């Protein structure tokens, strides 16, 4: 079964997860916050600039009981995103408090290194808190505590590494960009697209 790691549990990461699950992949989402929602975890009092019918999941209309305004607030959107994650049973695939720090490509696989926060505050409305953060979660998972990873990268005791066939970076517009150590320039070894 192909394995896919998705970084980010905002709108984009959750939809990608649903799509890959439908394809039969084993999916793990790494999210640094304590719940799904991305920007809408913080911008609760702001509204989107488009009417609600233009800002929705294609396969999940907003349930009437959530009563979104014509231009939904972040608070309404967050409830809607959490409902989407529950409906598609995505929480079981998410490792929260996991900040990805480094990506590496080795022997045709993605290696994704992440730090795990062990504080247990909050947990949000959706189920981010409570579950054991890493134990038994995700295929291809290795925990730190040993001096270095198999490919020689140093790992601290807080670091973990997950290996996957496919990688999706869904970290949004509001994060500092990070370029992995691969050649993705046109003509480079991993460039196989006209896009």
Ligand X SMILES: Cc1cc2nc3c(=O)[nH]c(=O)nc-3n(C[C@H](O)[C@H](O)[C@H](O)COP(=O)(O)OP(=O)(O)OC[C@H]3O[C@@H](n4cnc5c(N)ncnc54)[C@H](O)[C@@H]3O)c2cc1C
Give the footprint of ligand X on this chain (CB under 6 A). Answer: 7-13, 30-33, 38-39, 43, 46, 48-50, 55, 99-100, 170-175
How far is it, in rounded angstroms, from Cα 137 to Cα 153? 22
> What's the CA gap between 38 and 55, in Å, rounded?
15
The residues, ordered by sequence, that sit 6+ positions from 78 with a Cβ below 8 Å of its Cβ are: 37, 40, 41, 44, 125
Instruction: Tell which residue, 1, 179, 189, has the closest CA to residue 104.
Output: 179
- Judged by beta carbon, residue 8 or residue 144, the one nearer ligand X is 8
Tell me how far, at minimum, the Cβ of 187 lies from ligand X, in Å.
28
DSSP state of 56: S
Looking up tokens 């981010």 gives 128
Distance CA 141, CA 132 (A): 14
Q: Kindly tell me which of 11 and 83 has the beta carbon lying closer to ligand X.
A: 11
Residue closer to ligand X by CB (options 54, 185) is: 54
Question: CA-to-CA distance for 29 and 188, rounded, in angstroms?
Answer: 28
Measured from the CB atom, the residue of 122 and 172 that comes closer to ligand X is 172
Smallest separation, CB 129 to ligand X (Å) = 16
Tell me the closest approach of the beta carbon of residue 138 to ligand X, in angstroms.
14
Least Cβ distance, residue 173 to ligand X (angstroms): 6
| Residue number, 13 or 138, with CB nearest to ligand X | 13
Task: Answer yes or no: are the C-beta atoms of 169 and 9 closer than 8 Å.
Answer: no
Nearer to ligand X, 77 or 149 (CB): 77
Q: Which of 169, 170, 128, 118 is nearest to 41 (CA)?
A: 128
Closest separation between CB of residue 80 and ligand X, Å?
11
Give the shortest CB-134-to-ligand X separation in angstroms: 14
For the record, the structure tokens of 86 come out as 């529950």
């Amino acid at each position: 079964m192909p394995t896919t790691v998705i970084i980010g549990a905002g709108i984009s990461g959750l939809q990608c997860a649903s799509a890959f699950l439908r394809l039969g992949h084993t999916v793990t989402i790494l999210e640094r916050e304590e719940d799904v929602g991305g920007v809408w975890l913080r911008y609760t009092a702001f509204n989107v600039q488009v009417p609600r019918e233009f800002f929705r999941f294609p396969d999940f209309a907003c349930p009437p009981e959530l009563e979104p305004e014509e231009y939904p607030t972040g608070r309404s959107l967050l409830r809607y995103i959490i409902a989407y994650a529950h409906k598609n049973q995505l929480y079981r695939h998410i490792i929260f408090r996991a900040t990805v720090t480094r990506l590496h490509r080795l022997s045709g696989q993605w290696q994704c290194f992440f730090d795990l926060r062990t504080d247990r505050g909050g947990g949000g409305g959706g189920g981010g808190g409570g579950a054991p953060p890493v134990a038994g979660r995700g295929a291809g998972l290795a925990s730190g505590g040993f001096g270095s990873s198999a490919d020689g990268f140093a790992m601290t005791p807080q670091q973990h590494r997950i290996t996957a066939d496919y990688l999706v970076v869904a970290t949004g517009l509001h994060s500092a960009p990070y370029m992995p150590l691969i050649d993705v320039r046109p003509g480079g070894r991993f460039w196989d697209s006209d896009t």
